Amino acid sequence: SSSSRDDSLRDKRAQILSRGLPKQKPIEGVKQVVVLASGKGGVGKSTTAVNIALALAANDSTKEVGLLDVDIYGPSIPKMMNLKGNPELTPKNLMRPLKNYGIACMSMGFLIEETAPVVWRGLMVMSAVEKLLRQVDWGQLDYLVVDMPPGTGDVQLSVSQNIPITGAVIISTPQDVALLDARKGAEMFRKVHVPVLGLIQNMSVFQCPKCKHETHIFGADGVRDLAETLGLDILGDIPLHVNIRETCDSGQPVVISQPQSDA
């Protein structure tokens, strides 16, 4: 019948496509990998990744948490986690993560000068990503939070296809231009069979510190509407607050430095 022929063709196509994909191999010692992604840059992805890693550790002190920064061109984790220096090497020539606030961290920012730009072509970037994925001694981790670069390019595909990922979290502001790219990010993960755990709406509302008037600078419910369209959950709604920005800039993220604050 035509339906069985269609099924046969679909199976053959899937087999051919799968031949070109790398075999997924877990990161040694890591139980769960959660990636934090955004289509567009500047929506607070690294800030959210840092605070989620700290929150996972604060929520259960028995859990070991790591933070991997695969944004090769613009690594933010060293500054936000108040870490400097080069990783030590183990006898097996693996890099030891730097640690602060109980979180093991690895970033391209530890391997280059702080002010040095990474002026690399794609092959060098992919080689660096491979090193960050395969040449780090994480010990034993319950969670590894991965801070992805913005977009849906080589790095995102390489990470998604090389290691088993428990789930992806998409971060966006409610602004229309950010939502367009957030949707592309969610669809990319679906195409490579990575579960999307949900969306986070960031910088949703600003409250004037003097008169307490609230303003939706980037729009009100854009991410909620997108989540509904895609059939996904909203995992959080984060305000545009000076404390969140200041604490990350000073290397003392709000989850660790002001755990009782509204933010």
With contact defined as beta carbons under 8 Å apart, do 196 and 189 qualify?
yes
Taking CA atoms, 81 is separated from 53, 56, 74, 133, 221, in Å, by 11, 15, 15, 20, 31
18-28 average pLDDT score: 75
Neighbours of 113 (CB within 10 A): 7
Rounded to two decimals, the pTM is 0.86
Please write the tens of the pLDDT for every residue from 96-125. Answer: 999 999 999 999 999 887 777 777 787 888
Confidence category of residue 72, pLDDT binned at 50, 70, 90: confident
- Separation of alpha carbons 150 and 41, rounded Å: 5
Give the CATH fold of the 27-258 domain. Rossmann fold (3.40.50)
Highest mean pLDDT pick, 16-25, 154-163, 193-202: 193-202
Q: What three-state secondary structure class fits 1?
A: coil
For residue range 38-64, list pLDDT tens digits in order. Answer: 888 889 999 999 999 999 999 999 999
pLDDT band of residue 35 (cuts 50, 70, 90) is: very high
pLDDT of residue 161: 87
Identify the three-state secondary structure at position 184: helix
Residue 29: Cβ within 10 Å count:
14
Q: Say which DSSP state 29 is in.
A: T
pLDDT for res 153: 80
pLDDT of 172: 93
Q: How far apart are CA 79 and CA 77, in angstroms?
A: 6
Type of residue found at 139: G
Highest-confidence segment of 5-9, 10-14, 125-129, 142-146:
142-146
What average pLDDT does the chain have?
89
Q: Tell whether the torsion through CA atoms of 172, 177, 179 and 183 is positive or negative.
A: negative
